[in-house]
Amino acid sequence: MNNLVIVLFFLAILAFWWDSLGAREVARGAGRHACKQRDYQFLDESVSLTKIRLRRDVTGRMRFYRQYQFEFSPSGDDRMSGLVVLLGRQVQKVELDWYEA
C-alpha cells in the first residue's frame, strides 16, 4: 500500500510537469503571435511563469491559472514586457506594454 501511494505521488508530479510544458508552449505561441501581429520582435523566444493558482473555468471545473511574462521590442532598441494569461491551456488574454511609436 505504501508503494502505491509513492507511485501515485510521482505520477501526479509527472502529469503536472507534462501539463506545464504544454501550457508554456501555448503561452509562447500566444506571445509570439501577438508580437507578429504588431510587427514587434519577440525577444529570447521564451516566456517565464510568474504566477500559478487554481481557479474554476466557466463550467465550474478546477483549472490551473497561469501567468507568463515575456519580452518584446517594438523598435529593436529596447525591451518591454508582455503578459500571457492561461486558464488550463486556453489563452485568456495577452497584454503588451503600451508603446508610443
Tens of pLDDT along the chain (101 residues) come to: 788 999 999 999 999 999 999 999 999 999 999 999 999 999 999 999 999 999 999 999 999 999 999 999 988 888 999 999 999 999 999 999 865 54
* pLDDT of res. 55: 96
* pLDDT of res. 77: 84
Beta bridge partners of 41: 73
* pLDDT of res. 29: 97
Contact 50/39 with Cβ under 8 angstroms? no
